Amino acid sequence: MTNPNNATITTVHSAEFTSGHALSIPTLRLLKDDGTLYEGAKEPELDKATALKMYDTMVFIRVLDERMLAAQRQGRISFYMQCLGEEAAVVGSAAALDDKDMIMAQYREQGALRYRGFSLEQFMNQLFSNEKDLGKGRQMPVHYGSKDIYYMTVSSPLGTQIPQASGYAYAQRLRGLKNVTLCYFGEGAASEGDFHAGLNMAAVHKAPALFFCRNNGYAISTPANEQFVGDGIACRGVGYGIKTMRVDGADILAVYQATKMAREQALAGNEPILLESMAYRLAAHSSSDDPSGYRSKEEEELWRKNDPISRFRLWLINKGWLDEAADTEQTSALRQEILDALKVAEKVAKPGIEHMITDVYAEPTVQLQQQLKELKAHIKKYPDAYPVTAGRID
């Protein structure tokens, strides 16, 4: 007899509940804190050049984050979000992809962008919303995007990229491409309806999407134990019939291996995969957040010992692939390079106001053109209220 319910029917004759924690998902970890492998662990195939690129990317993002948060505190940019504590999760997963795999980010994945080749100048232009910014100044800082390197522009509404990733990955499959879409989001975004719709869509339509959940313990100020009762986010993938893996997000080798496996499986089976990274957000949620209001300094210091860059650095030293003195010198030079780039970008002019209506339609509509005309007239009438723009209107 056929089963229209699409469910396993195993009959019993006495009533009992299945526990909400019946499923226990292990966490993949390869590297110890001292940079050595656990007994029985096998490091992924990783050549020296790739490993050093991964490390350099992590260090670049750490230094960039430090400098740009300071710039925000000085009033030089309006907003910033750090990746502190999650560099391995982001860089390790990005490194496991093909260059033409699409990345759909949330807002803390600048490491993936840098690994793909986004330049320091491009970072600065976006953060300062100047006329060289690829987004022409129409986005908040850290809302990066680049068509050239297959990195979809970040949007602020939480979780919208999840169903979009399902659709994009489904299109990749229909076109016969041997590529996947990797979609980053936090455990807080997994509480949005878009998460459930996106995963179910990908599962039903067999879209090769990699859903990468960064479970960093807090959705802004809400701790995970106040967000959900289930066993993290990974168990939800199983609920949607999706192959799932949980990984230590501070262990870049484990993240790289898990993502590599997930990509291969997604393409081989024409199916989505859910990866859950278990790490800790060491920094504030954003430059507008004060974490002392919802967690202790003692908690932060405890997790600071689990630093992903330190662990990978020790592994590289143990391999004989990294010179400590040269590394220290290079990091110092990087700090100066970033500061120099900042000083250049903040002096570049802002985009022309006409860009407010470009890139939406092939040609701006009559309504948009009229609105722009009215806006220019308004600014000319009240120039003191618009000091940056007023002097640039013809």
Catalytic residues: 281, 285, 294
For strand 218-219 and strand 181-186, is the pairing parallel, antiparallel, or unpaired?
unpaired
Is residue 144 within 8 A of residue 153, CB to CB? The reply is: yes
DSSP 307-337: -HHHHHHHHHHHHT---HHHHHHHHHHHHHH
CA nearest neighbour of 144 among 163, 167, 120: 120
CA dihedral sign, ordered 33, 190, 263, 48: negative
Is residue 160 within 8 A of residue 199, CB to CB? The reply is: no
Q: What is the distance between the terminal CA atoms of the chain, rounded to a whole angstrom? A: 76
Amino acid, single-letter form, for residue 47: D
Is residue 47 within 8 A of residue 301, CB to CB? The reply is: no
